[in-house]
């Protein structure tokens, strides 16, 4: 599926498709949300859940690699440097 087709789906259908076919890559936390990063084919999807209630808040699909910056900053590569 292409990102353009994914964006045409309802948020509920997007969420269900990610749950069924997405590959969980990483999890991070912000002040108010637990955020899960999934890969779905050739693009990525972030699912946001409220920290307090655990309820689904929103979904953010993207294919811009710059959007991966918050995750890449968390990866420790020190052991690879020597």
**How many Å apart are CA 22 and CA 59, to the nearest integer?**
13
What burial class does residue 38 get, using C-beta atoms within 10 Å of its C-beta: 0-12 exposed, 13-18 middle, 19+ buried?
A: buried
- Higher pLDDT pick, 43 / 73: 43
Buried b / exposed e along 11-23 (16+ C-beta atoms within 10 A): eeebbebbeeebe
What mean pLDDT is predicted for residues 8-34?
A: 94
pLDDT at 70: 83
The pTM of this model reads: 0.85
């Amino acid at each position: 599926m292409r990102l353009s087709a994914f964006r045409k789906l309802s948020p509920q259908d997007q969420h269900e498709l990610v749950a069924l076919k997405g590959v969980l890559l990483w999890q991070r936390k912000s002040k108010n949300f637990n955020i899960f990063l999934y890969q779905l084919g050739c693009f990525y999807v972030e699912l946001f859940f409220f920290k307090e209630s655990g309820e689904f808040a929103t979904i953010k699909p993207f294919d811009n690699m710059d959007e991966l910056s918050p995750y890449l900053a968390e990866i420790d590569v020190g052991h690879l440097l020597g």
